[in-house]
Structure 1
Amino acid sequence: MLQVVGAAIVRRGTVLSARRSYPAAEAGRWEFPGGKVDPGESPETALTREIAEELGCAVEVVGWLPDAVRGDDRGRELELRVALCRLVDGEPSGTEHDALRWLAPEQLDDVDWLEPDRPFLPRLRELLLDGDRLPGGNVGGAVRIGTTVRRPIGPWTPAVHALLRHLAAAGLPAVPRVHGLDARGREILDYLPGEVIDVDAEQLSDARLASLGRWLRGLHDASAGFEHPGPWRFFGVETPTQITHNDAAPYNVAFRGDEVSGVFDWDLAGPSTPVHDLGHTAWSAIPLFRPIPADQAARRLTVFADAYGTDPATVLDSVRPRVQLAVDGIREAVRRGDEGMINLAAQGEPERTERALAGFLERRDAIRALL
């Protein structure tokens, strides 16, 4: 029996498909790249050899899709197996196929697969939906699949999606587009590339801090007048004036160079005030939760406030009520069974924030005196 192996090369929740250019009966149809197993070769060795020859890249076999498909090759019985592979070197290219495409799980049916490859698609679709887990954020649960991010939804999701569509229509940059829900009921949003700064390890540069201030002003201008009955996940502001992000912190912001390129984790968007947004961003991005020198804190507050278009003392005074709102909100959300906030509680919140707030209050007057 002739053994044939194919490679399901998976990257960020997508799989590589290859369009055949010959023979005439198969030209224009798509397949998993691969080839025949030579006498004395193991399937793994044959596959890595074929991929190197066909695509000019190196792959590693990490597993095999269940079952095998039997067929006929000009009168010879053959058996096709498909391996899950990951790229270890190079980028796929080559001359044996006239086109290559990385397909997300929803795109697997967009191409005309060769018949022997079709039985492997249902199981592969489920594996692709697992995606690559994304770091960052404070709630978690996001995975990347191709150029999209998939995240769990909640009762607040329709309101958040309405807000995102409104902001996109208003032309606010760095906002993910909404693409509906996937087969697992998760929201599908744009993946926003860029560098995310870990403020536990380094500070935002002054230029990036200013860019964040300008972006936040653009958000507040764009969302003014937007209304939605909710429900919203964020709560506790006694007299809200408009819908804001409520968590525009460095762990939720990506940069390209000095400019904001993406702002994500919109689950906490909801009725609040611009000054509350400013207080939370200053707390996390200056950062005021850390005991940085008072003169440095005052200077960075001024950079941020000037970029937004407000007084730095106003921003400083907004920190305590906004942080206290977060502390109270986490406790209440945990009591109500909010899974994301329960995850935060498992990480030591809100007690960790309460301790940081107490330290900030001891430093606040020294910072104000330098503004």
Structure 2
Amino acid sequence: MTVEVPLPGGTANRGRVHRVGDTVRRPWRPTSTATHALLRHLEHVGFDGAPRALGTDGAGREVLSYVPGQAVIAPAPAWGLTDAALASVGRLLRRFHDATAGFDPSPYPWSHPAPAPFDGGGIAHNDPNLDNIVFRDGRAVALIDFDLAGPGNAVWDVAAAARLWAPLRAPADISDVRHGRELLRLRIFVDAYGLDETGRAEFVTALRASHEWMREIVRDGAERGVPGFVQYWTPEAAARAARTREWIDRNADAITEALR
């Protein structure tokens, strides 16, 4: 018999993603055609930092290759919070953006394209959370979970990743070794990525917009009864999102200064 092993992490598809041998089975979505086109492009250009699209199975689920390694699943292990791990995420994200440069997203439907003015000029992963990046030997080697991927420019994706990994949020909501080092880690991340001067000038605007964009996706999912979002979007989660927005507003100048 084929053994299906549930994979941890995720929100929208929590409990619905399984490993079967060297493959991963996930629910087919209206935008899976777009995701598979993107993954095939990445394979064609030789980018090794993403799963391969393998079609569908008899249950109508999408089939992807399994990427061996470890993700930073809560409670975060110490190796996932080092500055070296952070820098490796920046380098991986840059390689992803470089690899998608020749991909045309226009023929496909995407779930949540980035808003203007961040909606052109590339493809964004859009959800580079700690549990959506695979590590080996403490180094980020692959992005997974492309459900939210879509048209979006580099600074939009960089801002989302930095918000999650630095992290850029109220100190009261950081209880691990990253506490008090948010702006230093931000600089480590954008330097490892190689964000240009234009991107650094646009960063705070992208950070605010990205935070609100993701908050609205989660809130809307909870209202529509998506189980993972319902479980996540508690009153405390809503309050935490508000504290993050307030912290970004209060520290906009300090964030900009940290990027110079």
**Normalised TM-score (structure 1):** 0.59
Partner of 2:99: 222
Cα distance in 2, alignment partners of residues 306 and 187 from structure 1: 36
The alpha carbon displacement at 1:317 in A equals: 4.6
Partner of 1:37: none
The 1:298/1:244 distance shift into structure 2, 3 A limit, reads same
The 1:236/1:222 distance shift into structure 2, 3 A limit, reads closer
The one-letter code sitting in structure 2 at the alignment partner of 1:272 is G
Cα distance in 1, alignment partners of residues 5 and 222 from structure 2: 28
Q: Out of 10, 27, 30, which is 1:137 matched to?
A: 10
Counterpart contact for 1:193–1:261, Cα < 8 Å = no
Describe the superposition over 1:144-187 as per-residue Cα deviations: whole angstroms up to 9, x where unpaired. Answer: 11111100011100010000000111111221011111111111
Partner of 1:257: 137
| 2:232 is aligned with 1:347 | yes
Q: Secondary structure at the match of 1:262?
A: strand
CA-based RMSD of the aligned residues comes to 2.6
Q: Secondary structure at the match of 2:233?
A: coil
Partner of 1:177: 52
Structure 1, unaligned runs of 5 or more: 1-14, 16-104, 106-127
| 2:113 is aligned with 1:235 | yes
Cα distance in 1, alignment partners of residues 248 and 74 from structure 2: 16
The 1:296/1:334 distance shift into structure 2, 3 A limit, reads closer
What is the number of residues matched between the two proteins?
241
Equivalences for 1:34-183 in 2 at 5 Å? Answer: 105=2, 128=3, 131-139=4-12, 140=14, 141-183=16-58
The one-letter code sitting in structure 2 at the alignment partner of 1:155 is P
Cα distance in 2, alignment partners of residues 137 and 195 from structure 1: 14
Q: Out of 137, 147, 157, which is 1:277 matched to?
A: 157
Segment drifting more, 276-285 vs 358-367: 358-367
The 1:366/1:275 distance shift into structure 2, 3 A limit, reads closer
The 1:294/1:256 distance shift into structure 2, 3 A limit, reads closer
Segment drifting more, 289-298 vs 144-153: 289-298
- Choose between structure 1 and 2: higher strand proportion: 1
Equivalences for 1:11-50 in 2 at 5 Å? Answer: 15=1
The 1:288/1:265 distance shift into structure 2, 3 A limit, reads same
The alpha carbon displacement at 1:315 in A equals: 3.9
| 2:63 is aligned with 1:188 | yes
- Choose between structure 1 and 2: higher helix proportion: 2
Q: Percent identity?
A: 37
The one-letter code sitting in structure 2 at the alignment partner of 1:324 is E
Counterpart contact for 2:5–2:18, Cα < 8 Å = yes
The alpha carbon displacement at 1:359 in A equals: 3.4
The alpha carbon displacement at 1:307 in A equals: 1.0
User: Of the two, which has the highest radius of gyration?
Assistant: 1
Q: Secondary structure at the match of 1:323?
A: helix
The one-letter code sitting in structure 2 at the alignment partner of 1:348 is W
**Larger RCO: 1 or 2 (CA < 8 Å, sep 6+):** 2
